[in-house]
C-alpha cells in the first residue's frame, strides 16, 4: 500500500516538475478537469495563479472545479479575488450568482446576475422597446460567445429569471423569460416557466 502511494506521489511530482509556466499549469489543469478529475485539477490551477496572479482563466477554472467539489463559498472567494484584479469580469459575477443559486440564496444570486449584465452594458428586461436595439448591438456576441470566460447575456437573463421565480418576483421572471424567447434561447423551458408563473399567480 505504501509503495502504491509513493508511486502516485512520485508521478504527481514528475507532472508538476514538467510544468514551467503558468500556462503549463493551466493546460494540465484543463486536461485533468476535462477528464473529470476536478480535485487534481485544483492543484494545477492554484499553481498557475501562483506563477501568474493575473491569469484570468486560472481563476475561473479553479472556481468551477471548486463548485464541482460542492465548495461554493471557496469558489466565490476565488471569483472575488479575480474581481479585485478585474472589476468588470462578467464570468466572475455570473458564476458567483450560480454558486448563490445552488445555495438557495436567490436574492444574492440576482444581485450577482445584475452585476454580470451591467458589465456587458446593461439590459432593462422590462423595456421591450429596447430589446431589438440590444439584440442588434450584441448579435455577434450572442452567436459566438461560448467560452467559460465570456458569458452571453441571454444565459445570464435566463438564470436570473429562474432566481426571480424562486423569490416570487413573477413579473420580473416573466420579463426575463420573454426576452429569452425573443432571442430564441431556451424557448421551450422559457415558455414553460412563463406558464408556471401564470399558474402561481392564479393560485
Please state the three-class secondary structure of the chain as a single string: CHHHHHHHHHHHHHHHHHCCCHHHHHHHHHHHHHCCCHHHHHHHHHHHHHHCCCCHHHHHHHHHHHHHCCCHHHHHHHHHHHHHHCCCCHHHHHHHHHHHHHCCCHHHHHHHHHHHHHCCCCCCCCCHHHHHHHHHHCHHHHHHCCCCCCCCHHHHHHHHHHHHHHCCCHHHHHHHHHHHHHCCCCHHHHHHHHHHHHHHHHC
pLDDT tens for 109-120 read 999 999 999 998
Instruction: Give residue 107's pLDDT.
Output: 98
**For the whole prediction, is pTM greater than 0.85?**
no
Report residue 136's pLDDT band, with 50, 70 and 90 as the boundaries.
very low
Whether pLDDT at 70 is above 90:
yes
pLDDT tens for 87-127 read 999 999 999 999 999 999 999 999 999 999 999 887 766 66
Instruction: Give residue 173's pLDDT.
Output: 97
Q: What percent of the chain has pLDDT over 70?
A: 76
Instruction: Give residue 200's pLDDT.
Output: 81
Instruction: Give residue 145's pLDDT.
Output: 42
* pLDDT, the chain, mean: 85
Whether pLDDT at 142 is above 70:
no
Amino acid at each position: 500500500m505504501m509503495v502504491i502511494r509513493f508511486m502516485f506521489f512520485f508521478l504527481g511530482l514528475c507532472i508538476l516538475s514538467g510544468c514551467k509556466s503558468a500556462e503549463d499549469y493551466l493546460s494540465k489543469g484543463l486536461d485533468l478537469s476535462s477528464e473529470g478529475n476536478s480535485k487534481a485539477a485544483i492543484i494545477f490551477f492554484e499553481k498557475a495563479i501562483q506563477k501568474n496572479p493575473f491569469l484570468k482563466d486560472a481563476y475561473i477554472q479553479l472556481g468551477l472545479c471548486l463548485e464541482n467539489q460542492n465548495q461554493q463559498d471557496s469558489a466565490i472567494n476565488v471569483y472575488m479575488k479575480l474581481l479585485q484584479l478585474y472589476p468588470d469580469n462578467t464570468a466572475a459575477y455570473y458564476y458567483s450568482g450560480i454558486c448563490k443559486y445552488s445555495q438557495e440564496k436567490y436574492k444574492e444570486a440576482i444581485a450577482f446576475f445584475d452585476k454580470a449584465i451591467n458589465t456587458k452594458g446593461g439590459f432593462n428586461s422590462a423595456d421591450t422597446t429596447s430589446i431589438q436595439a440590444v439584440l442588434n448591438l450584441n448579435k455577434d456576441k450572442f452567436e459566438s460567445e461560448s467560452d467559460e470566460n465570456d458569458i452571453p447575456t441571454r444565459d445570464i437573463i435566463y438564470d436570473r429569471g429562474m432566481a426571480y421565480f424562486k423569490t416570487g418576483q413573477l413579473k420580473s421572471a416573466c420579463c426575463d423569460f420573454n426576452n429569452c424567447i425573443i432571442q430564441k434561447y431556451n424557448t421551450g423551458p422559457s415558455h414553460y416557466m412563463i406558464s408556471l408563473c401564470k399558474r402561481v399567480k392564479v393560485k
